[in-house]
Every structure is written in structure tokens, then in C-alpha cells.
């Protein structure tokens, strides 16, 4: 990570090396392995890594993955109460509630041809740029000093507030929390927090080559069983990116556009902080256009929209949404819409 922060000769692959190292070397040998097993495996894999024998580590990881069982959980496991209690005691209340939910479906689907085709249908190609939806004029830069307060302590606090499963690195929020905040790591955790803070500030204050960020921006796509043969795609980003996002949104509490400070008015507050901030900004032009074209009242929650008013006003609002939505990246599925 410091190699990327310092702009060294391996800057373009430094972050990918870091993510690959985590994914390969921290793979558990068996689901119920002990601490001593983890230490032995990690020591052997680090030795192979230093020798450049990455293929050997990769082959071992593939063999371990093939031995794993089906991730689809039974509909009524005998230890349901124990699993729920363990999740609550770990502070994972949302996970515990989702575990008891009857709407969760049958878990993760195998990657068959039908599942792959449904995933492709749900991830459309980008829309072409249209001049009518672009902003013109001078845009004032955000002062670099705005991000100077991002430091190791802020990264540590963000790690303590981050939850969720792991992305392509395979390390979930609990894993990063132990790495960054555990006192047994002594100076190592503190130095890593400082390195993450430096990386976050550089991303906010400098232009960096996008290919070098591929590993950080990558997501793990999971096809969940929605029932009746349908697929619910779930994208899981790297926990490291989530931690960095919390650090960025801490000092940047307002959206700054063209030198003006605008408070968010679309009402979305859920999900990954930077993702929802960008989603909120991207929705604002569409919301404004709908307000101009129709007298209907509207309410937005993430990507769900509601239009209220007379039948004529709602019809005008819907027609404008169908026309202006796709060019602005909002693709509608009319069969999932309803009226009251």
C-alpha cells in the first residue's frame, strides 16, 4: 500500500498485489480450523509468496474451495436458535434478523447458464451521453485542506463502525476490524491505518490512473435465490473501500457542485456511504426535471420512486420518468410498478 502511496514503479499493480495477498494467504484450511492451523498455513503461504510460487498457493485455494459444501442453508435447521444467538452476541443484529426472515430465499444459487443469463439481463450496457443532460460551465476545485483531517485515528474509528461481508479480498468487516484495531498487533495496525489514511487523501486530492485502482473498485457478484427461478444480484465491495468511504463522507458532509454547497434532497441514507452519495447526486437532475414537468409529489428511497397526485399529474410524471430516466441511468421495469 505504501508503494502506491509513494508513487513507486509498481504503483499500477501495488493495490492488486495487496488484495490478492489477502485473498490467497488468509484462506482457512477447513471451516472449523483452529488458530494454530491458521498460523501454520499463513507461515507456509508467505514463504511460497516470497519465493514467487503464487501458482502453488492458488492451486491450494482452489482445492479448498472445491471441498466446501453447498452454501444453500436448509429451510429449518435444528440449530436455528443457536445460530441466531451467536449472531446477536457478535453484534450482527441485522444478520440475525435476516437469518430469521422467511423472505431470504434459498441462499446462493449455483452459477448455471440460466443464472448467468439473468445476471447479464440485470446489468445493462451504459447509456450514451446526451448533451441535454450534461452540465456546462466552470467548476471550482474542492480545496485539498478539506481532507487533511483524515488520519489513522479516523480510519480506526471508521473500521469499528463498518459492518458486512467481504468483497473480492475475502476479508469481512470483522476481519479488518481485528487487523486495524487489535492491540496485539502493536505498531502494525497503527501503521496500516496511517497508510490507508494517506491513500484516501491521495484519492481525494490527486488524479490517479484508474487501472491502478481496479482491485479496490472490484466487487463480488453473488446470485441469490429470489424464488420461482428468479435471481437477485448482490454486489459486495471491498471492506477497505467502505472504510475509506466513511472517512471521506465524514469531512465532506455537503455535496459541492460548481462552488455551491447543496444539501441532499432525495432522502437516501442507506448503504455504502460513497455509493449512496454518488447515487444521490446522479438522481438529482432526474428529480429536478420531474418537478418541472409534473405537479405530482414524489418520494425517493434509494432507487425506488413514488409519484402522488391526481391521475393526470401522475400520468405526466410517469411519462417523463420513462423518457428522461434511461438517459440519466435510471432504467425502469414497468411490470414491477403499481398504482393505488
Kindly state the average pLDDT of the residues 67-91: 72
Residues 66 and 196 in one domain: no
Residues 145 and 169 in one domain: yes
The CA distance from 128 to 132, in Å, is 12
Residues 229 and 317 in one domain: no
Establish if 337 belongs to a structural domain. Answer: no
Backbone φ and ψ of 313, nearest 5°: -65, -40
Give pLDDT tens digits for 1-10: 889 988 888 8
pLDDT at residue number 270: 39
**Domain span at 311:** 274-328
What secondary structure does DSSP assign to 193-252, as a single string? HHHHHHHHHHHHHS---GGGGHHHH-EEEEEEEEETTEEEEEEEE-HHHHHHHHHHHTT-
The CA distance from 275 to 305, in Å, is 18
Residues 282 and 245 in one domain: no
pLDDT at residue number 60: 92
pLDDT value at 286 more than 90:
no
Establish if 263 belongs to a structural domain. Answer: no
Q: Kind and range of the H or E element at 226? A: strand 219-227
Establish if 262 belongs to a structural domain. Answer: no
pLDDT at residue number 74: 53
Exposure on the CB side of residue 52, measured as CA atoms within 13 A: 0
Give the cell for residue 3: 508503494
Residues 131 and 194 in one domain: yes
Residues 216 and 134 in one domain: yes
Query: Of 108, 213, 109, 100, nearest to 165 (Cα)?
Result: 108
Residues 3 and 55 in one domain: yes
The number of distinct structural domains making up the chain is 4
Establish if 255 belongs to a structural domain. Answer: no
Residues 178 and 304 in one domain: no
Residues 138 and 229 in one domain: yes
pLDDT value at 296 more than 70:
yes
Looking up cell 514503479 gives 9
CB 23 within 8 A of CB 168: yes
Residues 169 and 203 in one domain: yes
Amino acid at each position: 500500500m505504501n508503494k502506491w502511496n509513494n508513487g513507486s514503479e509498481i504503483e499500477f499493480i501495488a493495490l492488486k498485489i495487496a488484495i490478492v495477498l489477502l485473498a490467497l494467504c488468509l484462506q482457512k484450511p477447513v471451516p472449523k480450523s483452529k488458530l494454530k492451523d491458521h498460523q501454520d498455513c499463513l507461515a507456509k503461504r508467505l514463504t511460497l509468496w516470497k519465493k514467487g510460487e503464487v501458482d502453488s498457493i492458488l492451486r491450494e485455494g482452489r482445492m479448498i474451495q472445491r471441498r466446501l459444501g453447498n452454501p444453500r442453508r436448509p429451510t429449518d435447521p435444528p440449530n436455528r436458535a443457536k445460530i441466531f444467538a451467536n449472531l446477536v452476541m457478535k453484534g450482527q443484529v441485522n444478520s440475525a434478523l435476516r437469518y430469521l426472515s422467511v423472505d431470504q430465499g434459498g441462499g446462493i444459487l449455483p452459477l448455471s447458464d440460466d443464472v448467468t443469463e439473468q445476471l447479464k439481463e440485470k446489468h445493462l450496457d451504459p447509456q450514451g451521453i446526451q448533451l441535454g443532460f450534461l452540465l456546462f460551465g466552470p467548476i471550482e476545485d474542492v480545496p485539498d485542506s478539506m481532507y487533511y483531517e483524515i488520519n489513522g485515528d479516523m480510519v480506526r474509528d471508521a473500521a469499528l463502525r463498518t459492518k458486512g461481508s467481504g468483497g473480492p479480498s475475502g476479508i469481512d468487516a470483522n476481519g479488518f476490524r481485528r487487523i486495524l484495531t487489535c492491540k496485539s498487533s502493536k505498531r502494525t495496525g497503527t501503521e496500516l491505518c496511517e497508510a490507508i489514511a494517506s491513500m484516501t487523501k491521495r484519492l481525494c486530492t490527486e488524479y490517479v490512473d484508474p487501472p491502478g485502482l481496479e482491485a479496490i473498485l472490484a466487487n463480488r457478484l453473488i446470485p441469490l435465490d429470489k424464488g420461482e427461478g428468479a435471481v437477485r444480484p448482490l454486489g459486495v465491495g471491498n471492506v477497505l473501500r467502505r472504510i475509506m468511504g466513511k472517512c471521506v463522507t465524514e469531512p465532506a458532509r455537503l455535496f459541492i457542485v460548481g462552488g455551491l454547497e447543496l444539501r441532499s434532497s432525495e432522502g437516501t441514507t442507506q448503504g455504502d456511504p460513497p455509493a449512496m452519495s454518488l447515487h444521490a447526486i446522479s438522481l438529482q437532475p432526474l428529480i429536478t426535471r420531474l418537478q418541472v414537468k409534473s405537479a405530482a409529489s414524489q418520494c425517493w428511497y434509494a432507487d425506488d420512486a413514488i409519484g402522488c397526485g391526481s391521475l393526470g399529474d401522475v400520468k405526466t410524471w410517469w411519462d417523463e420518468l420513462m423518457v428522461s430516466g434511461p438517459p440519466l441511468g435510471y432504467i425502469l421495469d414497468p411490470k414491477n410498478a403499481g398504482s393505488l
